[in-house]
Structure 1
Amino acid sequence: MQAQAVLKEKFGYDHFREGQADVIESLLAGTNVLAIMPTGGGKSLCYQIPALMLPGLTLVVSPLISLMKDQVDALNENGIPATFINSTLTQGEVQERFNQAARGEVKLLYVSPERLDSDYFLADLAELTIDLIAVDEAHCISQWGHDFRPSYLRLTDTIKSMRQQPTIVALTATATSQVADDIMLRLGIQHEVKTGFSRENLAFQVVKNQNSDRYLIDYLKVNKQKSGIIYASTRKEVERLTKLIEKAKLAVTMYHGGLNEMVRRQNQEDFLYDRKPIMVATNAFGMGIDKSNVRFVVHAQIPGSLEAYYQEAGRAGRDGLPSEAILLFKVNDVQIQHFFIDQSEMDDENKQREYAKLQEMTQYANTQQCLQQYIVNYFDDDCEKCGRCSNCLDTRESQDITIDVQKVLSCIKRMDERFGKVMVAQVLTGSKNQKIMQFRFDELPTYGLMRGDSQKEVSGLIDYLVASGYLRASGGQYPVLQITLAGVKVLKGQEKVSRKMAAKVQKTLPEDNELFERLRELRRDLAEEQGVPPFVIFSDKTLYSMCEIMPTSLTEMLDVKGVGENKLEKYGELFLDILVAE
């Protein structure tokens, strides 16, 4: 059967996306391939379709245990026999699944890379006829990548030790040229298919110099009913933000490594099943999330690298519908990432590499360039200006703040450039704090010069001056403020400083109509009944397609993107009833 026919019958799509046909044809011809495609670019189909066309088994190596079950559920929903083996199973269950594979009852077998460290497992694997190996999240194989995993290194030896040499496909969404070369060298890959890093449906935003808690709550209220992930760097901040959002009476759950396994699983399910559309989490969450209707990803704190940021932000809009990725940038959060690097057990060379990546991430937060373009350039690629990020659409007015800046710089100078942001803000706002009296800072001419502003507002202005290069904050746990050459020019009146006004939250994600809501309700009920996440039944994109095409028969239902023959048989009538009643 032709690949295109399999695509239509099993997955309900008429055409391949860019790069997919090239990867599939190469694999069917026995050529090893590296596929670099953006998140949501359809990487999974690149090995799932050959798996159905090749006589033997396809082995999928994936580091994401929680994702395996979702992917296997989704394949089974489409009438494709697949299973997984990971640490959640008993020895008996593992053996039974091996037997199924040996009898040819499954076409795809998902395993974690750690399994390949077991000689017993490899001995069982040697009994199977494996035609294709798919290495998902392939950047994990390279020490230059942002998420290097030593367990991936065993892959090369495992493949070499196999009876017959299977074809290999390595897949990733985030690989610089250096990482791509490393993957190809390690896995003996000759052919690279790269479709570009740009995400056409994602609007990137950087929000700074304003109260980020207030911005976040306003944003969530404006986008009620939409599903999204909010990332924070520490467990403490995850818990604080969750309480803040609960206080605003919004349905939210959380995920971090400090919660027990049962609570984590329950919270993850509440999010996946749309019971609680907002998830606040550390980066421990998300690698295993295939939820396609995530409409926004907000980073409440800056992550450690642009690779990590793009990977996490890329969890928004996997179904191709308009979605948003927002970074709430605060200079203090950079210190948290610095601390993580300082405390890590990496050698000095690796630490320096991580500091450089953090610096690149900080520059992203402060660039005036198109944000999508900046990210794509980082991955040694190029694209046009996106026309939808916060820099491309920035129409805020600039305000001359030179006099306030001179007040701040003058105060720092009079405090001998020996103190940090908090102390400077307290002096400027006229605080009667014991320490200020002790140092006799209340006698300075700059004491109380900015009494009309809150300490938080003055601290925000100081952050802006650090980000803009007028001040330098020394490293360490308590950074000390020093005036740069650019700051000296402002102090002397040789240069003016302006600042964009704070951005107001505006509704930018599209509204859902009543028909879509009714279809979504039916999908949720079916999902609860069957114990699978709603997007496994149909994606939001498929529901929107139903609203657009308005099929009146089962035959017309097959014209809807994402409705294959298996799902038509299972759900066609139920969804048709709602559509026809419109």
Structure 2
Amino acid sequence: MPRDTAIRSPEEVLHEVFGHGGFRGRQAEVVHHVVAGGSGLVLMPTGGGKSLCFQVPALCRPGLAIVVSPLIALMEDQVAALRQQGVAAAALHSELEEEERRAVWRDILSGQLKLLYVSPERLSMEGMLERMGSRSVALFAIDEAHCISQWGHHFRPEYRALTLLHGQFPEVPRVALTATADGRTVEDIRRLLDLQDAPVFRSSFDRPNIHLAAAPRESERQQLRAFLRRVDGTGIIYCGTRNKAEATAEWLRSDGHEALAFHAGMDTAAKREAHRRFARGEQVIMCATIAFGMGIDRPDVRFVAHLALPQGPEGWYQEIGRAGRDGLPAKALLLYGAGDIALSRHRIAESPAGQEQKRIERARLDAMVAIAESATCRRRTLLRCFGEDLEKDCGACDVCTNPPRLVDATVAAQKLISAAVRTGSRFGLGHLVDVLRGRMTDKVAQFGHDRLPTFGKGKEVAEGTWKDIARQLVAEGALDVAVENFGELVPTESARPLLRGERAFMLRESSFQPRAAREDRVAPPSDDPVFGALREWRREEARKQQVPAYVIFHDQTLAEIASRHPRSLDDLRDVPGVGESKLNRYGAAVLSVLESTPA
């Protein structure tokens, strides 16, 4: 589209170029403001149409519009889409061949381009801004603007170079756009980009088409399988580590799914191929770290799952927002554990950041924990993090569709904290539950913990319930987890009011029920061939070691293994009664028995 193309109205451009009959929400307000030469900050949810807020003004104003974008894949996707619509657009980035780079510059200097996408690093190097002085600049659009703020969840120091724009191009409008920014981040963006006197165009962050759900991570693969049975189509599963992403993709493929891995440690060609398959519309499940997803434009992502607790609401909101951009129903699932909370707290404490930054990060983590543990409308809890209040419960989250009843579990919480204190804060949850349930294990006998006042005082509470209590106590900060050692539970100062009875501890009724009402163990099956084979293996193993069979595994544990039929060591680790020591010692043999015995 040449430079001298006749200027058209925003509505004409919207219809003729983009094929839309009208603007949505606050788009029209933003577009007319920028076309008139105004600057501003645009806060819109993922899928809310932020791109049109600068693309339409770019085609209405004379000159070249420069769009700052953090990712090459995002630039290429938007350039390809614009070219499909007949718009002269290009991108300058590090992966261009020299001849391609020269061609882009020829189009820039000749006035053939209308939109140029660049990274913040590229914009500030090679005297690029000075070279732009030879032609008219229509506007600057700073996409993913939260990256400029150290309070933002994706802070990128390279974005700080953009603070020079106002000084060098004082007459050129600057429009900053983001889908995730809390109050402090918003003010930081405005200060750094000299937008204090410019309006903030804030849209509702609500995405009512996305059903929100969260659950404690108890048997991860079983929970994920159950979730995948309720969804259909393409999705993203966010994993906490690179190894986890690869392992998750591998076992999903073994389950018959088309799954890909994506993380920063992969070579460039593999990452580009995975992204290409996802972007071109294949029905795949992308198992990824947070390295994947910023700027994803695919509209038909039907679900997003997280297998670990995100660091804060902003990151979680942005990631789940990649589902359902077409406005059709989509689902989001969060699986989390007490260890996630404790590990995040330790990372914050040990980071080299200043105390103010650590305080902000702790507040974000606490807000994320509140969302995960919420016993009221989960969407209302999430939106409050962005300064938005729903008038009523959403009706589209797991808490709304299946409201929990809360019961007073203060006595049980006191028993668990007391058990941790009386054992010297040197043991993990498994051992504390053994003490509370009155199990005479080797470790209990070794340390004389059968003589403690708490021994056997928690028989009426099911094992799964103790896990629920511990996780919530960690979430509330009454217990800490020594993640640098072996996961010992350590009471904190916040536990004192609980122990003294100065405050109550409330738990979901579904979790806190008497053992008879919530017996989450499996009865030993007398005629199950898998259970029989496991017992035979255990008998032979006990004979070799000259020990009682039950010290290897109880019947109850073998029954759980036979019922769950784990396929890997990770699956086996989730079975009650299988600790790390026994997993390392017997895991391979147990899996071998399962593989050789028909269910």
TM-score range, shorter chain: 0.7 to 0.9
Specify the SS of the correspondent of 2:400: coil
Instruction: Please tell me the residue identity of whatever aligns with 1:93.
Output: E
Q: Does 1:198 align with 2:221?
A: no
State the distance in 2 between where 1:497 and 1:183 align.
Answer: 40
Q: Alpha-carbon deviations, 1:462-487, whole Å to 9, x = none?
A: 32454467x52256534424393565
How big is the shift at 1:85?
A: 0.6
Answer yes or no: is 1:100 the counterpart of 2:110.
Answer: no
Q: Paired residue for 1:179, among 185, 203, 211?
A: 185
Question: Could you report, residue by residue, the CA deviation over 1:226-281 in whole angstroms, capped at 9, with x for unpaired residues?
Answer: 21111122223223322332332221111112222222222222322343521111
Correspondence for 1:419: 427
Residue matched to 2:299 = 292
Is the 1:209–1:460 contact (alpha carbons within 8 Å) kept by the matching residues of 2?
Answer: no
Match of residue 219 from structure 1: 227
Q: CA deviation at 1:32?
A: 0.9
Describe the shift of the 1:186–1:201 C-alpha distance in structure 2 as closer, same or farther (beyond 3 A).
same
Relative distance call for 1:432 and 1:237 in structure 2 (3 A) is farther
CA distance in 2, matches of 1:96, 1:340: 46
When residues 363 and 288 of structure 1 are mapped into structure 2, their CA distance, relative to the original with a 3 A threshold, is same
Specify the SS of the correspondent of 1:379: coil
Determine the C-alpha separation between the residues in 2 that align with 1:495 and 1:293: 42
Tell me how large the CA RMSD over aligned residues is: 3.2
Q: 1:344 to 1:66 in 2, by over 3 A?
A: farther
Q: How does 1:460-475 map to 2 (within 5 A)?
A: 460-467=468-475, 471-473=478-480
CA distance in 2, matches of 1:467, 1:131: 50
Q: Does 1:374 align with 2:374?
A: no
Rounded Cα–Cα distance in structure 2 between residues aligned with 1:307 and 1:494: 30
**Structure-1 residue corresponding to 2:260:** 253
Q: 1:468 to 1:31 in 2, by over 3 A?
A: closer
> Are 1:62 and 2:83 counterparts?
no
Match of 1:10?
17
Change in CA separation of 1:282 and 1:496 when aligned onto 2, cut-off 3 Å: closer
Task: Return the offset for 1:435.
Answer: 4.0
C-alpha separation between the residues in 2 aligned to 1:34 and 1:405? 47
Asked if structure 1 preserves the Cα contact closer than 8 Å seen for 2:31 and 2:54, the reply is: yes
Structure 2 residue 491 is matched with structure 1 residue 482: yes
- CA deviation profile, 1:302-326 (whole Å, cap 9, x unmatched): 1111111111121111222222222
* 1:474-521 alpha-carbon deviations (Å, 9 max, x no partner): 56534424393565478x99988553359xxxxxxxxxxxxxxxxxxx
**Cα gap change, 1:247 to 1:404, in 2 (>3 Å):** farther
CA displacement, residues 498-545 of structure 1 (integer Å, 9 cap, x when unaligned): 53359xxxxxxxxxxxxxxxxxxxxxxxxxxxxxxxxxxxxxxxxxxx
- Relative to 1, partners in 2 of residues 1:198 and 1:168: Cα closer, same or farther, differing over 3 Å? same
Q: Does 1:308 align with 2:308?
A: no
Matched, 1:353 2:363: no
Contact 2:409 2:505 in 1 (8 A): no
Number of the residue aligned with 2:161: 154
Q: Deviations over 1:154-196 (max 9, x none)?
A: 113144224x732111111112233223322332332221112
2: distance between equivalents of 1:195 and 1:444?
Answer: 58
49 and 287 in structure 1: CA distance in 2 versus 1, 3 angstrom threshold: same
Q: What are the within-5 Å matches in structure 2 for residues 13-412 of structure 1?
A: 13-162=20-169, 165-189=171-195, 190-208=198-216, 210-224=218-232, 226-384=233-391, 385-395=393-403, 408=416, 411-412=419-420
**C-alpha offsets along residues 394-436 of structure 1, whole Å, 9 cap, x if unaligned?**
2456688789767756644653554332321344567776544
Conserved 8 A contact 2:338-2:470? no
Aligned-pair distance for 1:83? Answer: 0.9
Evaluate the alpha carbon distance shift between residue 127 and residue 500 of structure 1 in structure 2; reply closer, same or farther with a 3 A threshold: farther
CA distance in structure 1 between the aligned counterparts of 2:440 and 2:151, rounded to whole angstroms:
51
- 8 Å contact 1:37–1:196 — kept in the other structure? yes
Q: Work out whether residues 229 and 279 of structure 1, in 8 Å CA contact, stay in contact via their aligned partners in 2.
A: yes
Alpha-carbon spacing, 1:395–1:156, altered in 2? closer, same or farther (3 Å): closer
| CA distance 1:74–1:326, change in 2 (3 Å) | same
**What SS does the corresponding residue of 2:55 show, helix, strand or coil?**
helix
1:569 equivalent in structure 2: none
Paired residue secondary structure (2:401): coil
Question: How far 1:133 sits from its partner (Å)?
Answer: 0.9
Q: Deviations over 1:52-98 (max 9, x none)?
A: 12221111001122111111111111222211111111233212101
CA gap of 1:377–1:397, structure 2 versus 1, over 3 A, is closer
Shift of 1:104: 2.5
Equivalent residue number for residue 459 of structure 1: 467
Residue type matched to 1:500 in 2? S
Gaps of 5+ in 1: 503-582
Alpha-carbon distance between aligned partners in 2 of 1:202 and 1:281, rounded to the nearest angstrom: 20
Q: Judge conservation of contact 2:74–2:295 (CA < 8 Å) in 1.
A: yes
8 Å Cα contact 2:409/2:507 also seen in 1: yes
CA 432–179 in structure 1, closer or farther in 2 if over 3 Å, else same:
same
Cα shift at 1:362: 1.3
Moved more, 143-152 or 208-217: 208-217
Distance (whole Å) between structure 2 residues aligned to residue 403 and residue 193 of structure 1: 50
**Bigger mean CA offset, 322-331 vs 240-249:** 240-249
1:537-559: per-residue Cα shift (whole Å, max 9, x none)? xxxxxxxxxxxxxxxxxxxxxxx
Structure 1 residue 346 displacement after superposition: 2.0
Change (3 A) 1:293 1:438: same
Q: 1:254 to 1:98 in 2, by over 3 A?
A: same
* Residue pair 2:343, 2:483 contacting (<8 A) in 1 also: no
Amino acid at match of 2:214: V
Amino acid across the alignment from 1:26: H
Give the Cα separation in 2 of the matches to 1:398 and 1:210.
20
Aligned equivalents of 2:445, 2:258: Cα separation in 1: 46
Cα distance between partner residues in 2 of 1:405 and 1:247 = 41
Relative distance call for 1:264 and 1:427 in structure 2 (3 A) is farther
**Partners of 2:200 and 2:461 in 1: how far apart?**
56
Equivalent position amino acid for 1:482 in 2: P
Worse-matched range after superposition: 289-298 or 379-388 = 379-388
| CA gap 1:392/1:178 in 2 versus in 1, 3 angstroms | same
Distance 1:430 1:153, change over 3 A: same
| Structure with more relative contact order (C-alpha pairs < 8 Å, separation 6 or more) | 1
Alignment partners' CA distance in 1, 2:413 and 2:349: 32
SS at match of 2:163: helix
Distance in 2 (alpha carbons) for counterparts of 1:160 and 1:196? 32
